[in-house]
Structure 1
Amino acid sequence: MKFNTKTIHGGQEHDPAYGAVMPPIYQTSTYAQSTPGGHKGYEYSRTHNPTRNALEKSFASIENGEYGLAFASGLAAIDAVLKLLKPGDEIISTNDLYGGSYRLFTKVYEDFGLKFHFIGMENADKVRNYVNDNTRLIWVETPTNPMMNIIDIKAMAEVASDHDILLAVDNTFATPYLQRPLDMGADIVMHSATKYLGGHSDVVMGALAVKDKELADKLYFIQNASGGVCGPQDSFLVLRGIKTLHVRMQRHCENGRQIAEYLKTHPKIEKVYWPGFKDHPNHDVATAQMDDYGGMVSFVTKGHDYDEAIAIVEKLKVFTLAESLGGVESLAGHPASMTHASIPKEEREKTGVVDSLIRLSVGIEDIDDLIEDLRQALN
């Protein structure tokens, strides 16, 4: 089954009760039993819920995995992965990381004895230098948020395989429409399903997909034991969102390309970060592992003026100044004061997240309106 068909039919079946084409919203916390332990596969909705199960099967299908898990948020999904580890274990992660992930790693799990190495992951040899007997996980984000750095998933998978450690990939920016990390050797794929999978800025959710049953069973246990699950209404919304993922991503990519090209030629712009440019770091890797370059674009103006960056995002009219990304509407953000505010300034600026950086989540509106909006804001 091809991807565009999987988004609609992957892992799905008509509801057995009445043949409903769309999975019903099973808004229930518990299920009737004929005798203790005698039930139809469902006991309590923290453990299983038919609507959530339908979504989890969809997650697995579109990532070419065997098992999917849905969580209350992307950070809840990451939290479950970290609970596979124990005090003294070490994790290698990119130094250009989503602020929420960095906060969870450093402000929560370091206190429980996990050790994190935040490094540039532009090549595998650099990562190998940090692997030791305590390394248990490599955490990859590609493209990274917000600098759009590209990490070679196959190369990271080779490092992980050589040392018998787990490789997890945050695939939120790319989505499985553009890249499928499990096919490239990753053990775990994570999504903030709040973003492109849901696609309409109306739900908060996280997702994991894996191929290995033993690993899946450990994660299912953690999911149930910790209880960070999503509700049936949210599950329904993301299921509905996934059904249009392919057509939305096609337009996100088309618009993203034109916005990036417009910004690159604008006299006020110093640098545009978008993986589709031939001079973008690891552009060849992006071309090899992605089917297109996505709808996320970051840029800095000449002079690196903080006040000018704030003035630009405040003047935008079609682009909405807001947190998050991946919705049908275009959003603009100022990472230093919004999504990455939890990262110390000196750490942020080492990776390029300067006070003048602006991040765009390019939506699916008419491209002429988006370019005109940027033109008036920049001028």
Structure 2
Amino acid sequence: MITTPITPPLVRGAAELETTVRGLRPHRLPASVRERFPDPQLMMAESQPSGVRLVFSTTAEQLEVVTHPTRVVYLGADRPRGRVDLLVDGELLHSDELTGGSYTEVNMSTGAARQVDGASHTSGFPRLPAGSKTVEVWLPHNESVELVELHSDAPVEPFSSGRPVWLHHGSSISHGSNAATPSGIWPAVAARIGGVELHNLGLGGSALVDPFTAQVMRDTPADLISVKLGINVVNMDSMRLRAFVPAVHGFLDTLREGHPETPLVLISPIFCGIHEDTPGPGAFDPASFGTGQVRFVATGASEGVAAGQLTLRVIREALESLVARRAEDPNLYYLDGTELYGAADAEVHPLPDALHPDSATHRLIGERFAMYAFAGEGPFGETVQTRKSL
């Protein structure tokens, strides 16, 4: 087997690759952000390589990818392990569940935590199709990993599709929470249908209209952009309406500094019954501890809306109005998130933890976004079709 050094040209969807004692750790936010604002939730989210993948061309029929996972384990909540997906010429052939690695074990009742270290994991992919092919190795969306080694029985070369780059930012739903596989998160589903390269800045618990996120997006090359805002602001009870609206204006202004004419879709939250008319903060439901499925609840009171507290219904109205007031920007679009997942969908595909969609619903949301955005008349359609014709 040939050992190929893992270098930046092989990696897509990461801002930086940090050198560690074992190998390389992909980061989705640059060191300048991580050093200036090392919030634990943000650091965990950005280090989980949602949407990050190795991409190369090869004639190899056997591959091995060695990674060292790092994760958080919550006692009483049985969360599935991350997976490494292997796609060949765009088709999913293998999905390998991680084992071993290091983890922090957290007791949600007491807050106590302990660190446990384990061995690295080898994802083996034998019997690949013969001949030249494009291979994508999608890294887990829900565990941080260090890239240790890449082995193959034939040389690998970096590959660039030349497709448009879609840069997306959102909350844990965009990050992929409750999806079973990294290539099954809704932005990955939509990107595959739309024929574009995904750069995912879905950051679990951290879609908070942060200026540094807008600055990172401003400075990231992209042909298409979408921003999904609202649910984290509500379930953290982090803003009032008076602060939220100008903050979103500022976020969009920053994006436009680097991408003045790029098609940009502002997406409001999908349906979430606990927060439709009840402000945050959100919290774990203690009654669900030990059941195998932790659930969330809203702890605010509807009376707070009159004082400016935010609910999902209030946010959708605010974002729609905000886009209307930016009519001078012909490339800015508003998408009501309930078009992707609404109240009727919740009857058929309920959110398992009352907050995040399951794998089938990720696929549904991805298909609906692709139908909206990448169709010929959609906000991204012209860019994609123009690139295809070149």
Q: Which has the higher helix share?
A: 1
Q: Which has the higher strand share?
A: 2
Task: Decide: shared fold, TM above 0.5.
Answer: no
Q: TM-score normalized by structure 1? A: 0.25
Q: TM-score normalized by structure 2? A: 0.25
